[in-house]
């Protein structure tokens, strides 16, 4: 899960040097620097490359900007013509900067700290591409997928192909682990979830594993609820990320027997801190720590997270696993 960001003063210093968040992602020197910043401060077990899931549509030529306080804005893709205008002939122009970031970080990290590369899952990325940004319950993408599944599948297929290339490029550059972020899995019924989330994930995983069988792939179907079980069984992944709403006993009984699990502390509890944070971390370790488990947040870290709370969290987790 996102580690770098606005909760760190050294990140804000780097951010202040450029006009846009996207400029950090496009500048390997800066992206590598902010990727490494949390590792310098905290005793973390892994690093995750600093980038954004919307790099993929950007690489496909979709206009993208990040408006401070408003989130991403894209020129919406709403029909077959708009899909046809997406251009996958020059992906390296954009992905090259991410690959160089991965190279820089990989060579700077100690050998025992793996580097996680990632992409957004096709459904989630498509939901931004179709809506032109964040959307309420992914309504635009859902309606299109229900009305014209064959055309919508063209978009998903393009995202599958592009994501495979992008993930393999990160592996070639030095990524040790990959993660697929299905941030908006929580809006589809079971049949549509199978079609638009599980099938594309499986396709990506199978194709990546043909070339890089040794690289573990973590899937993160955020908000999928009970469908996380089906995702764990059918998406071909090696480990599953759990959001904060999945109950600990259910994760232990339903997911952990299938796969290593990652998660799932509420990022707002890390903001509020105190004895409730301590109690929840201990409960999580007690419930999940006996099986294969990667402690993590249930979603990205919040900008207003006090650094002392992160330190406390890491001390609790590292103390328990020592």
Among the listed residues 7, 58, 99, 128, the single catalytic one is 128
Per residue, the 3-state secondary structure of the chain, as one string, reads: CCCCCCCCHHHHHHHHCCCCHHHHHHCHHHHHHHHHHHHHHCCCCCEECCCCCCHHHHHCCCCEEEECCCEEEECCCCCHHHHHHCCCCCCHHHHHHHHHHHHHHHHHCCCCCCEEEEEECHHHHHHHHHHCECCHHHHHHHHHHHHCHHHHHHHHHHHHHHHHHHHHHHHHHCCCEEEEEECCCCCCCHHHHHHHHHHHHHHHHHHHHHHCCCCCEEEEECCCCCHHHHHHHHCCCCEEECCCCCCHHHHHHHHCCCCCEEEEECHHHHHHCHHHHHHHHHHHHHHHCCCCEEEEECCCCCCCCCHHHHHHHHHHHHHHHC
Closest separation in Å from C-beta 189 to a second copy: 5
Among 227, 239, 240, 259, binds a second copy (CB under 8 A): 227
- The residue among 129 and 187 lying less far from a second copy, judged by its C-beta, is 187
Asked if 222 is part of the footprint of a second copy (rule: CB under 8 A), the reply reads no
**2 annotated active-site:** yes
**Using CA atoms, how far apart are residues 229 and 255, in angstroms rounded to an integer?**
6
**Using CA atoms, how far apart are residues 204 and 288, in angstroms rounded to an integer?**
28
Among 17, 40, 63, 274, binds a second copy (CB under 8 A): 274
Asked if 268 is part of the footprint of a second copy (rule: CB under 8 A), the reply reads yes
What would the two tokens of residue 310 be? 């992160």
Asked if 303 is part of the footprint of a second copy (rule: CB under 8 A), the reply reads no
Asked if 250 is part of the footprint of a second copy (rule: CB under 8 A), the reply reads yes
Residues 6+ apart with CB under 8 A from 72: 52, 54, 64, 65, 66, 128, 133, 134
**Using CA atoms, how far apart are residues 239 and 217, in angstroms rounded to an integer?**
7
Among 90, 245, 278, 315, binds a second copy (CB under 8 A): 245
Closest separation in Å from C-beta 253 to a second copy: 10
Asked if 225 is part of the footprint of a second copy (rule: CB under 8 A), the reply reads yes
Asked if 84 is part of the footprint of a second copy (rule: CB under 8 A), the reply reads no
Closest separation in Å from C-beta 245 to a second copy: 6
Closest separation in Å from C-beta 238 to a second copy: 22
Asked if 2 is part of the footprint of a second copy (rule: CB under 8 A), the reply reads no
**52 annotated active-site:** yes
Q: Tell me: cis bond preceding 264? Omega within 30 of 0 counts.
A: yes
Closest separation in Å from C-beta 251 to a second copy: 9
Among the listed residues 11, 52, 99, 280, the single catalytic one is 52
For a second copy, how many residues bind (rule: CB under 8 A)?
Answer: 39
Per-residue x/- mask for a second copy, residues 186 to 215, rule CB under 8 A? Answer: xxxxxxxx----------------------
Asked if 113 is part of the footprint of a second copy (rule: CB under 8 A), the reply reads no
**Using CA atoms, how far apart are residues 220 and 240, in angstroms rounded to an integer?**
6
What would the two tokens of residue 172 be? 């070639």
Asked if 126 is part of the footprint of a second copy (rule: CB under 8 A), the reply reads no
Asked if 254 is part of the footprint of a second copy (rule: CB under 8 A), the reply reads yes
Asked if 234 is part of the footprint of a second copy (rule: CB under 8 A), the reply reads no
Q: Which of these segments, 26-34, 61-69, 242-250, 312-320, binds a second copy (CB under 8 A)?
A: 242-250
Asked if 172 is part of the footprint of a second copy (rule: CB under 8 A), the reply reads no
Catalytic positions are: 2, 6, 15, 52, 128
Binding site for a second copy (CB under 8 A): 139, 142-143, 146-147, 149, 186-193, 223-227, 230, 244-250, 254, 264, 266, 268-269, 271-272, 274, 276, 280, 283, 298
């Amino acid at each position: 899960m996102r580690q770098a960001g606005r909760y760190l003063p050294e990140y804000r210093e780097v951010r202040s040097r450029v006009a846009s968040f996207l400029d950090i992602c496009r500048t390997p020197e800066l992206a590598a620097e902010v990727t490494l910043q949390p590792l310098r401060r905290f005793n973390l077990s892994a690093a995750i490359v600093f980038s954004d899931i919307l790099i993929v549509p950007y690489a496909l030529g979709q206009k993208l900007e990040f408006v401070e306080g408003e989130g991403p804005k894209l020129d919406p893709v709403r029909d077959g013509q708009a899909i046809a205008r997406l251009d996958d002939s020059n992906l390296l122009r954009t992905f090259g900067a991410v690959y160089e970031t991965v190279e820089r970080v990989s060579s700077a990290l100690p050998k025992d700290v793996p580097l996680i590369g990632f992409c957004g899952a096709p459904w989630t990325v498509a939901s931004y591409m179709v809506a032109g940004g964040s959307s309420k319950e992914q309504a635009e993408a859902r309606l299109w997928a229900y009305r014209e599944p064959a055309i919508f599948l063209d978009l998903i297929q393009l995202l599958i192909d592009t994501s495979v290339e992008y993930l393999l490029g990160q592996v070639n550059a030095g990524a040790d682990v990959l993660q697929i972020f299905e941030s908006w899995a929580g809006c589809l019924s079971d049949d549509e979830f199978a079609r638009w989330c599980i099938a594309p994930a499986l396709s990506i995983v199978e194709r990546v594993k043909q070339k890089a069988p040794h690289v573990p792939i973590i899937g993160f179907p955020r908000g999928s609820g009970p469908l996380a079980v089906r995702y764990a069984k059918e998406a071909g992944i090696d480990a599953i990320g759990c959001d904060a709403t999945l109950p600990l006993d259910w994760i232990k009984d339903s997911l952990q027997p299938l796969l290593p699990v990652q998660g799932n502390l509420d990022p707002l509890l890390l903001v509020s801190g105190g004895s409730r944070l301590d109690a929840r971390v201990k409960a999580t370790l007690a419930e999940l720590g006996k099986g294969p488990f990667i402690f993590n947040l249930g979603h990205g870290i919040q900008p207003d997270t006090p650094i002392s709370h992160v330190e406390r969290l890491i001390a609790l987790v590292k103390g328990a696993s020592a």
